[in-house]
Chains A and B, each alone.
Chain A
Amino acid sequence: GAGVSQSPSNKVTEKGKDVELRCDPISGHTALYWYRQSLGQGLEFLIYFQGNSAPDKSGLPSDRFSAERTGGSVSTLTIQRTQQEDSAVYLCASSLGVSQVLYFGPGTRLTVT
């Protein structure tokens, strides 16, 4: 079956512009995560959605970052007024219920110039 998909695969933007990154989770997966992978670093937790519960936003690095999940499926991560330090690969993952097995998408590589 189809895995987690993300778009765009690459995004180059100028400092100060807003960007939106999209994630389509595996059908039927109720949990959705966003992680950030910076060069040479591990994956950094950003946000977690589970069903209709309030999301865990504790990993968002600043108030320039926000995310929403519509209809319990597609999610959008928005970064406002991008900075060069936002350059990274943004990974989305989904899981079935409270399973700790995460299925990652291929990521969106964001470059802020």
Chain B
Amino acid sequence: QQQVKQSPQSLIVQKGGISIINCAYENTAFDYFPWYQQFPGKGPALLIAIRPDVSEKKEGRFTISFNKSAKQFSLHIMDSQPGDSATYFCAASNDYKLSFGAGTTVTVRA
């Protein structure tokens, strides 16, 4: 069973636009919510992560919004650039074992 549900499966955004990816989880024991970025032929790399004691975390153009009561979290990519074109995975964990969403392929059109 997939413990983390991610949407959309893919999205296309114009350069300078905002990309939004949503994830939902069921296990209330999860206490760590990272996002990973993966380029073709490469392994995923940690992009940004949040813990449930805060509602938002921003690093550069990337922001995580976290809604504990709704058991949802999202990634916002501001001022999207062609170099942001990649697959993004949300994940959740309460120990060493990460449960990943199915991934979102983001394409940024120049």
Contact = CB atoms under 8 A, between A and B. Distances in A.
Interface in B76-110: 89, 91, 93, 96-103
Closest 10 CB pairs of A and B: A104-B43, A42-B100, A43-B100, A42-B102, A104-B44, A106-B43, A105-B43, A100-B32, A42-B101, A45-B97
29 contacts: A31-B96, A40-B9, A40-B102, A41-B102, A41-B103, A42-B4, A42-B89, A42-B100, A42-B102, A43-B44, A43-B98, A43-B100, A45-B97, A45-B99, A50-B96, A56-B97, A91-B44, A95-B96, A98-B96, A100-B32, A100-B93, A101-B46, A102-B46, A103-B45, A104-B36, A104-B44, A105-B43, A106-B41, A106-B42
Interface of A: 4, 31, 33, 35, 40-45, 48, 50, 56, 59, 91, 93, 95, 98, 100-107
